[in-house]
């Protein structure tokens, strides 16, 4: 019995054992095999992208740079490849035959205004802690200066950049607001929340986005609205430390916000508040009778380095 006479489900079982180079050859045997592979391409072995850079203006994506993950047959790191796109169809075709799940670095650059977004997996494979770095630069609306935001996330549970070829498609990125002049902050917040929750399909448009508030308060409010501070969810939630490198001071209004916020979510005990020359902190913890774990919500502002550390354990 030859390949062409097999039922489609048996053909797919064979295709799943093939590497991408051989799959491309099979695609060109005949029209039926080509259509079957294209229809099921998401479940077949495709080159796995490690690092992706996307360059766009306010209208479309025109260039990408990428490298692939190392394999047993790869003796050294891949060099970055550059692909230029004349049309959106060319970009979509570029996405289709590659696997973007669990990429280690994503870079989005708006060449029209100089803004960019970077998220990178900085975890040590020999450690049990997952570390992700975020760097956002976007122009201010009132001057030629740029806002520069750096955030680092630590978690004891696995995190990843949760995007596939569909979510990186032009229409999907447009829904994020990527091509809008003043929406980069919304995209930045979405990416942080997507990595924290592992769910890129959450409806972010219904959550509060007040750009008069700093990004760390926006993230705190967003997690609250998603139920991450609910007592019934606390035993199963991911454990995080969020570290924000601030370019502005942590103000009295910020202290007031978090004092009220922590009072709202406290475990029933009094808050422990400290305000010294070197730090401002709020802590609240409880020994859980359900899971026999110490749960803690805390905030520490390190005044000497302007670093804000928010812990959810």
CA distances from 244 to 51, 112, 149, 168 (A): 24, 27, 8, 26
Q: Assess if residue 229 is contained within a domain.
A: no
Q: What is the pLDDT of residue 89?
A: 92
Give how many domains the chain has, as a whole number.
2
Segments forming the whole domain that contains residue 133: 47-206
Position 118 scores a pLDDT of 93
The answer to whether residue 37 is domain-embedded is yes
**What is the per-residue pLDDT for 144?**
47
Q: Are residues 57 and 41 in the same domain?
A: no
Pairs from 199-208 (Cβ < 8 Å, separation ≥ 24): 199/162, 200/162, 200/163, 200/167, 202/226
Give the mean pLDDT per block of 10 residues along the chain (313 residues): 57 54 57 56 67 93 89 60 92 87 91 88 85 84 61 87 91 88 81 88 57 82 83 74 85 89 80 88 81 82 89 81
Residue 221 counted as domain residue: no
Same domain for 7 and 146?
A: no
Say yes or no: 65 and 149 in one domain.
yes
Task: Please tell me the predicted confidence (pLDDT) of residue 271.
Answer: 82
Regarding whether 167 and 126 lie in a shared domain, the answer is: yes
CATH number at 33 reads: 1.20.1280
pLDDT reported for residue 10: 56
Residue-level pLDDT at 99: 85
Task: Match 């970055």 to its residue by tokens.
Answer: 80
Residue whose C-alpha is closest to residue 121's, from 143, 104, 136 = 104
CB 166 within 8 A of CB 100: no
**Residue 235, pLDDT score:** 73
How many of the other CB atoms lie within 10 Å of CB of 154? 18
Asked whether residue 118 falls in the same domain as residue 134, the answer is yes
């Amino acid at each position: 019995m030859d390949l062409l006479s097999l039922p489609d489900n048996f053909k797919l079982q064979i295709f799943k054992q093939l590497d991408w180079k051989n799959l491309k050859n099979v695609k060109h045997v005949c029209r039926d095999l080509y259509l079957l592979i294209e229809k099921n391409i998401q479940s077949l072995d495709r080159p796995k992208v490690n690092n992706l850079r996307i360059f766009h203006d306010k209208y479309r994506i025109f260039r990408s740079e990428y490298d692939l993950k190392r394999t047993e047959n790869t003796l050294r790191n891949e060099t970055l490849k550059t692909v230029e796109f004349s049309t959106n169809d060319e970009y979509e075709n570029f996405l289709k035959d590659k696997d973007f799940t669990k990429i280690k670095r994503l870079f989005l650059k708006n060449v029209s205004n100089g803004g960019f977004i970077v998220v990178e997996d900085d975890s040590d494979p020999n450690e049990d802690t997952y570390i992700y770095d975020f760097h956002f630069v976007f122009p201010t609306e009132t001057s030629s200066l740029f806002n520069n935001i750096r955030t680092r996330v630590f978690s004891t549970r696995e995190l990843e950049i949760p995007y596939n070829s569909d979510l990186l498609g032009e229409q999907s990125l447009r829904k994020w607001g990527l091509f809008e002049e003043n929406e980069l902050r919304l995209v930045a917040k979405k990416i942080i929340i997507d990595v924290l929750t592992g769910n890129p399909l959450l409806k972010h448009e219904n959550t509060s986005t007040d750009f008069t508030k700093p990004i760390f308060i926006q993230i705190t409010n967003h997690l609250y609205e998603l139920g991450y501070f609910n007592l019934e969810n606390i035993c199963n939630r991911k454990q995080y430390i969020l570290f924000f490198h601030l370019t502005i001071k942590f103000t009295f209004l910020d202290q007031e916000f978090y004092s009220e916020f922590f009072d709202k979510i406290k475990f029933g005990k009094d808050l422990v508040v400290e305000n010294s020359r070197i730090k401002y902190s709020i802590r609240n913890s409880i020994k859980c009778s359900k899971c026999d774990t110490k749960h803690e919500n805390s905030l520490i502002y390190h005044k000497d380095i302007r670093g804000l550390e928010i812990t959810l354990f």
